[in-house]
Amino acid sequence: MNNAVMSAQNVLLIGIMFVYAVLVVLVLIRAVAGPRIADRIMAINMIGTIGIFLMAVVAVRLDEEYLLDICIIYAMISFLSVVILTKVYMGVHQENVLRKQKLERERRENGVSAEEDELDRLLSNLDKDTPPE
């Protein structure tokens, strides 16, 4: 391969890497600001995909074949993290709903109980997990 093609390739790959780095920052802002929990998990998954592509670009630029192995592992681990996070979060949410129902039932039975502000505090804590959009 002659020199001109090599330098053009370098410029192309480095430019693409810069653009993708900016995109990673933008997606990270979405992950921090995302109003719902699905937004955050989705944004992290997207960062994983962009990272995989960046690694492939680096592998081609440095001519290191073994970096592509890491891409495969990264794809697998991001999938695994999404599956387990969603599973755990659904369980936690179900538990919260059960607890909320129980508290409300107790409140109805006892009328206005002495621990009212305590209950309010607990309920507001429960609401914090799923912020309104």
Positions that interact with another protein (CB under 8 A): 1-2, 5, 8-9, 12, 16, 19-20, 23, 26-27, 30, 36-39, 41-43, 45-46, 49-50, 52-53, 56-57, 59-60, 65-66, 68-69, 71-73, 75-80, 82-84, 86-91, 93-95, 98-99, 102, 130, 133
Spatial CA neighbour of 55 closest among 5, 28, 16: 16
Of the pair 16, 123, the CB lying nearest another protein is at 16
- Burial of 62 (C-beta count, 10 Å sphere; 0-12/13-18/19+): exposed
Beta carbon of residue 32, minimum distance to another protein (angstroms, whole number): 13
Beta carbon of residue 84, minimum distance to another protein (angstroms, whole number): 5
Give Cβ neighbours of residue 120 (< 8 Å, ≥ 6 apart).
none
* CB-based contact 75:66 (threshold 8 Å): no
